């Protein structure tokens, strides 16, 4: 079957029909790098998850083991490709559960038959995105026109993150509630802005929160481990022309204040 015809079939609803998840092995765990391998028939596949320094975001890479040409095609059928995608999906799930990976980024490389125009998605990207949206219709995805897809894993596996949330997750959940015009882009910006430092303190700020009661609000939070009152919270209510600054000894007190200030409790 020709590759173009194969992918045209996959872009229909038949993508979910035939597959067999294969056994896989984690071959390496070194720092923030995770390597896996599995076989489909006589072809070995390699999967890599490479995390940022704070292990908040991982880049996913996969392909035929030992093959460095991004345009390489195996020439196999739909069931083979579905099996590859579902096995990689199983690997990702295991990694997300074990390491609580919050965001995964991967790309669909352009091949020889793809348009070179940046605003036309490569076929591989269409294939991967179709797989994700079919299997996880309620998940949060973001894709650009350069072959990159970002997946917010909490929207796929909420059970992994709903228990034992860290400070950043608690703050982002709060921001989602108080931002009445919240959309995916808001969440990505906040996710990038807030960081937990080496002392376990949360630092970050929002560019703008759009709240029905208070209008546009900016929130800044900074942690100083050397101070008795370690958290410095600043709120700027632009539409009301008001500013507030408060100091807190711990993060729980910060969140209690914010919930009361925005009438959530």
Interval 116-137: pLDDT, tens: 545 555 577 778 888 888 899 8
Dump pLDDT digits (tens) for 163-205.
778 899 899 889 988 998 756 567 777 888 999 999 999 999 9
3-state secondary structure the chain: CCHHHHHHHHCCHHHHCCCCCCCEEEEEEECCEEEEEEEECCEEEEEEEEECCCCCEEEEEEEECCCCCCCCCCCCCHHHHHHHHHHHHHHHHHHHHHHCCCEEEEECCCCCCCCCCCCCCCHHHHHHHHHHHHHCCCCEEEECCCCEEEEEHHHCCHHHHHCCCCHHHHHHHHHHHHCCCCCHHHHHHHHHHCEECCCCCEEEECCCEEECCCEEEEEEEEECCCCCCCEEEEEEECCCCEEEEEEECCHHHHHHHHHHHCCCC
- Rounded Cα distance between 24 and 26, Å, is 7
Dump pLDDT digits (tens) for 17-37.
688 899 999 999 998 899 999
CA 206 to chain centre: 19
**Whether pLDDT at 220 is above 90:** yes
**Whether pLDDT at 114 is above 50:** no
pLDDT value of residue 213: 92
- Rounded Cα distance between 220 and 81, Å, is 47
Neighbour order of strands in the sheet with 43-51: 24-30, 33-40, 43-51, 57-64, 103-107, 148-152, 140-143
Break the chain into its structural domains and give their ranges.
3-159, 165-261
The residue whose two tokens read 């091949």 is 111
Mean pLDDT lowest for which of 120-124, 140-144, 149-153, 185-189? 120-124
pTM over 0.75: no
- Rounded Cα distance between 168 and 63, Å, is 33
CB 238 within 8 A of CB 188: no
Q: Domain 3-159 belongs to what topology?
A: Aminopeptidase (3.40.630)
pLDDT value of residue 3: 47
């Amino acid at each position: 079957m020709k590759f173009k015809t194969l992918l045209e079939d996959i872009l229909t609803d038949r993508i979910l029909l035939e597959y067999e998840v294969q056994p896989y092995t984690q071959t390496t765990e070194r720092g923030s790098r995770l390597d896996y391998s599995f076989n489909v028939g006589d072809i070995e596949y390699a999967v890599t998850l490479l995390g940022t320094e704070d292990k908040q975001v991982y880049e996913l890479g996969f392909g035929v083991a030992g093959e460095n040409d991004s345009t390489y095609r195996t020439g196999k059928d739909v069931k083979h490709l579905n099996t590859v995608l579902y096995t990689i999906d199983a690997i990702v799930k295991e990694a997300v559960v074990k390491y609580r990976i919050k965001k995964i980024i991967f790309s669909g490389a352009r091949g020889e038959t793809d348009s070179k125009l940046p605003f036309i998605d490569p076929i591989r990207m269409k294939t991967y995105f179709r797989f994700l949206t079919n299997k996880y219709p309620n998940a949060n995805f973001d894709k650009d026109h350069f072959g990159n897809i970002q997946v917010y894993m909490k929207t796929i596996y909420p059970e992994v993150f709903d228990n034992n949330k860290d400070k950043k997750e608690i703050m982002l959940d709060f921001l989602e509630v108080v931002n009445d015009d919240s959309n995916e882009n808001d969440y990505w910006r906040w996710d990038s802005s807030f960081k937990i430092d080496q002392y376990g303190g949360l630092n970050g700020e929002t560019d703008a929160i759009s709240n029905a009661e208070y209008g546009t609000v900016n929130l800044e939070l900074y942690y100083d481990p050397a101070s008795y009152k370690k958290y410095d919270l600043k709120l700027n209510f632009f539409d009301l022309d008001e500013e507030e600054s408060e100091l807190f000894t711990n993060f729980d007190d910060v969140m209690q204040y914010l919930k009361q200030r925005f009438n959530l409790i």
